[in-house]
Every structure is written in C-alpha cells, then in structure tokens.
Structure 1
C-alpha cells in the first residue's frame, strides 16, 4: 500500500515537473542561446586580457563593440535591406513573366500553369495572409521577435560580464580532490563552444562579404546588400543553410537574367567547395574536433528537437560531450 502510494506520488510529481519544464521551454531556449552567445564573445575578452587589459575593461570593450555593431546594423543596413527587399517583392511578378518567355519553362508551364499560380499568389498577398494571418499576425510576430532579441541581448551581456564568477561557483560544487580536473574540463568545453560560435560567425561573414562583392560585380547591386545579408544569416545554419542561401540568390538572379543566374550557380558551387575544404577547416580547426558523421547526426537531431536553434546548438554541444567521453569515460574503460 505504502509502496504504491509512493510510486503514484513520484509519477504525479514527475508529471508536474514535466509540465513546468514544457511551459518554460521557450525561456530556457533563450537562456541557452544567450549562454552560447556569451561563450562565443568570451574569446574576444580573453584575447584582450592576454594583451594586458584587465578583464572588467575587456568585458566592457567587447560589450560596447557588440552593441555598436548592433546599432550600426540597425541604423545603416536595415533601411537598405528593407528597400531592397521591397524592390525584390515588387519585381517578383515581372520576373515570373520573364520566365514565361523561356521556351523550356513555357512548355512546362503550359502543362502545369505554375508561373500563373505563383504570380497570382504573390500579387494577391495570399502567402502573407496564410503565413502570418494578416497585418495583426505580422505585427505580433515582429514584436515577439524583437522582444526575444532584446531578452537574448540582455542575458548575453549579463552572462559575459559574470562568466568567470559563474564558472567559479559551479566548479566549487565539485569535490575538492577533483575540482582542478573539473575546472580544466569545464574551461576546455567552454572554449570549444566559444570557438565554434565565433568561428561560425567568421565563416558566415566570409560568405556574406563574398556574395556582396560578387553580386555587385555581376550586375545585381540593387539587391546586393539584402541578398548578402540573407546568405550571411543562412550560412550560420549547419549543413543546409549555405545551400538554401545560394538557391535563393541564384533563383532571383536567374529570374533577372538567365546568364547572370548561371554565373551565380557556378560561383556558389565553387565558393561552397572553397568554404567546405579551405575556410571552414582552418577557422574551426582550433575550436571543435567533431567527426563528420557525428556532425550530421547532431545537426539532424538538434533540428528535429528545436528546429533551427537546435541545429545551431547541436554541433558545439556534441563537441563538448565528445570531450567528456574522450577525457573521462574512455580512460576509465582503458584502465579496466
């Protein structure tokens, strides 16, 4: 009787705790993202402290630089990107009409009428209403995004400023005899996470800058900033982000001019090989050491659990877990 009561009580408490975790899952995701961003900014702080600057001043310098970059993006780039996105949307029906003049595409359209349907879909705003539920839905979505972005920024700055104190407090929970070992593993895990985050930003920035220069050269300068920003943001997503960004840019270029579109396809095929085999290995060689198969599995699992955010956090998390396996579990197995 007593055993059954305890089992039932335990099951009830587990259900309550599970429900609480689900209800605060969105907040927990914001906290985790902020911590990863703080770990990504921490290498800059350590770089400054290594050159004689005291950590409080180094943290202040990185925070000011981070905020200055955000302000610069909002003030300088957002209006340009907005204008160019509006130009892309307004020109989309004309691009579809140009595609209809292509003989091969016209023969396919005669059977499926997909261009006419796409043109009507864009013109009457059905897509926007279907996705966002009208103007009110767009407003709510934008306000929600801005609110989450503000929370992430505040938490990131807080974690960055208190990172050393937080680590020390966590390490003190370990037994004194193993505290040095825990400290070493914890610092290496954070370095791995921070190196991956900062490295991913560097790789994405290279893709964005290359796209900006290329698009300005081939004659798409009217949309270069907006499309380069899209490529930069998508390139951060592991595995598929770079391909999606290249497909978007190539499709717009193809609709503008067939030759330009072909040149874009060739450029992004070549650039992705350069990124995969030259830029990415050099940038990431000092941050993460994750086998290719583990990278794919981790990214797919993270995407299945948490979508894009899960895919972004999966690889550094896998790197940290592999570090623990190599340094803790494997040596114990070898000693048996």
Structure 2
C-alpha cells in the first residue's frame, strides 16, 4: 500500500512538472503577444485620467472616450505624416553623407593626419586590420544581416500597429474590464479590492501622463534650440531621439543627451556647436531633475529613490525598455499594497 501511494505521488508529481513546463513554454512562445498586451494596457491606463478629467467636466463617458481616442489617432497620424518623413529624409541624407566620408578614411593623407593627431596609436596596424576584416566579409552574411534588419523593422511597425489597436480597445472598454475583474473577487473583500485597484490604476495613469509630459517638454525644447539657436544639422532626428530617451526613466535623458552630443560631433558640426549642445543638456538635466520632474511627477508616484533605481534596473533587465518604463508604477503599486494590506494585517496580529 505504501509503495502504491509513493507511486501515485510520484506520478502526479511528474505530471505536475510536465504541466508546469508546458505552461512555461506556452508563456515563452506568447512573450511577444503578452508584451503587446502589457504595453497597450499600460498606455490605456495612462489615457484613462484624460477620460476621467473630461467626465468631471460634465462630459458623457462615451463622448470623452471618443474624444481621447480621436486625439490619440490624430497624434499618431501627425507623427507619421509630419515627423517620420522628416526623420527619414534626414537619415537618408546622413547615410549619403557617410558614404562620401568613409572612403576618405582610407586615403594616405588621412592616415598621416591621424598619426600626427594621435602619435601613440599604430595607425598602419589599425588600418591593415580593418582592411583584412573588410576583405573577409561574406556577401551572403551581409545580405542576411540586411534582411534581418528589414524583418526587425517590419516587426516593429507591425507591433506598433497592434499596440495601437489594443490601446484603442482597452481605452474604450477599460471600465467593463474592471467590472468583470472585480466580480471575480469574493463579495466580503470586494470593496477593499476595488478601492486598492482604483488607486493602483490611478497611480499608473498619472505616471504615464507625467512621463509623457517630460518627454514632450524635452523634445519641444530640443527641437527649438537645435533648430533655431544652435542651427544643428538633422535637428528633427535629434529631437526625436530626445523624446524617445525621455520616455525611459532615470537614464533615458542622460543617454539621449550623450547620443545627441556625439551626433552633433559626428555630423561635423563646429566645435562651438558640440560644446554648446553639451552644456545645454547638462543644464537641462539639472532643471529637469530639480524643477520640472518634481512638479510633474510629485502627485504621480510616491516611491523612494532607492526603490526607483532598483525597480528600473530589474525591469530593464527582464523586459528591456518597456520593463524599465513599467517598473516604477509597478513598484509604487507593490508599496501601496504592502502599506494598505500587509502592514494592517501585521498590526492586527
């Protein structure tokens, strides 16, 4: 009898392991789809405060949702037809410029100038190694790399469209999704769960709106100064980089500032441009950290600085840029749950 029980336990245990592995494999295969759903839900929660704001000003919810969705579609359309062509044109011009610059690198005069500038560098060895590397390149591998890059770009465009469609759906049906979720909670604990869920939802929404506002401020200021004050080449492309970088918490603004400054140097801008752009972003990062960000994000999330850093690092390691973006409101939600659920239970013991 004992042997039979041991065999049954082992059999069910093995079946449990197999089921767990199957679930893990399924989740792994659905990782991309789950990322799309998570990103769309995250954006929808960020747009929900706009719907609530319009509702508080005597708008019907259906009209408020329609207005917000129209604004999202208008912004996306404007991005496609106004900004993207400019950025694409500047990228094309940059590639053409690089095609004229790169051949001059292998001229004897460039070697002599480089050797005089950096006397401790063995220029001949570096150029010989570069030449042998170029000769060893396989045309098929290059073609495969170009094809892979094209597939990656196509997947990114497809993913953006999917996220946009899911975002529109989630914004229009967020209230019904919440009600369906609340029905799954026992009635005795439903009131507390609803209150906590609404606080978490509001916290995430305020964070998304605040981060978007920071990115918009950085992008607009970058475009104005780079175009009209510093007169930098490819200012629209660099301002677009500033917007994308500012969406990433903590390190995004710093990273985009470094990339933009190096971009000005790469575009052969005069020395004063490089120095001026670098000084501007040093000043802007201080103003953003101590003036703009506290005013915008003060009511969004209340998270200690150490937790912010750890959450962003963990989220970025697990899910990349999306993880770093989602990590801070998730950390705020966890702290809120600990404060309102775990701590009172501990105090009641």
TM superposition score normalised by structure 2: 0.86
Instruction: Give the one of 82, 85, 96 matched to 1:79.
Output: 85
Instruction: Give the one of 261, 269, 274 matched to 1:261.
Output: 274
Match of 1:148 in 2: 159
Q: What is the CA–CA distance in structure 1 between the aligned matches of 2:222 and 2:125, rounded to whole Å? A: 29
Q: What is the CA–CA distance in structure 2 between the aligned matches of 1:102 and 1:237, rounded to whole Å? A: 40
Residue 59 of structure 1 aligns to a residue whose secondary structure is: helix
Match of 1:324 in 2: 337
Match of 1:89 in 2: 95
Residue 162 of structure 1 aligns to a residue whose secondary structure is: helix
Match of 2:171 in 1: 160
- CA contact 2:36–2:162 (8 Å) conserved in 1: yes
Query: How far is the alpha carbon of 1:115 from its aligned partner?
Result: 9.7
How many residues are aligned here? Answer: 333
- CA contact 1:49–1:55 (8 Å) conserved in 2: yes
Do the aligned partners of residues 142 and 293 (structure 1) sit closer, same or farther apart at CA in structure 2, a change above 3 Å counting? Answer: same
- CA contact 1:207–1:231 (8 Å) conserved in 2: yes
1:41 aligns with 2:54: no
State the Cα deviation string for residues 209-241 of structure 1 (Å, max 9, x = none).
111111123443541111100110111112221
Do the aligned partners of residues 11 and 31 (structure 1) sit closer, same or farther apart at CA in structure 2, a change above 3 Å counting? Answer: same
Match of 2:190 in 1: 179
Q: What is the CA–CA distance in structure 2 between the aligned matches of 1:102 and 1:201, rounded to whole Å? A: 46
State the Cα deviation string for residues 243-267 of structure 1 (Å, max 9, x = none).
1211111112234111110111111
Q: CA RMSD in A?
A: 3.0
Do the aligned partners of residues 11 and 43 (structure 1) sit closer, same or farther apart at CA in structure 2, a change above 3 Å counting? Answer: same
Instruction: Give the one of 12, 19, 23 matched to 2:18.
Output: 12
1:214 aligns with 2:225: yes
Query: How far is the alpha carbon of 1:94 from its aligned partner?
Result: 7.0
TM superposition score normalised by structure 1: 0.90
Do the aligned partners of residues 115 and 325 (structure 1) sit closer, same or farther apart at CA in structure 2, a change above 3 Å counting? Answer: farther
Q: What is the CA–CA distance in structure 1 between the aligned matches of 2:188 and 2:8, rounded to whole Å? A: 40
Give the unaligned 5+ runs of structure 2.
1-6
- CA contact 1:48–1:58 (8 Å) conserved in 2: yes
* The 10-residue stretch of structure 1 (10-19 or 54-63) with the greater mean CA deviation from structure 2: 10-19
The structure number with the bigger radius of gyration is: 2
- CA contact 2:114–2:123 (8 Å) conserved in 1: no
Match of 1:335 in 2: 348
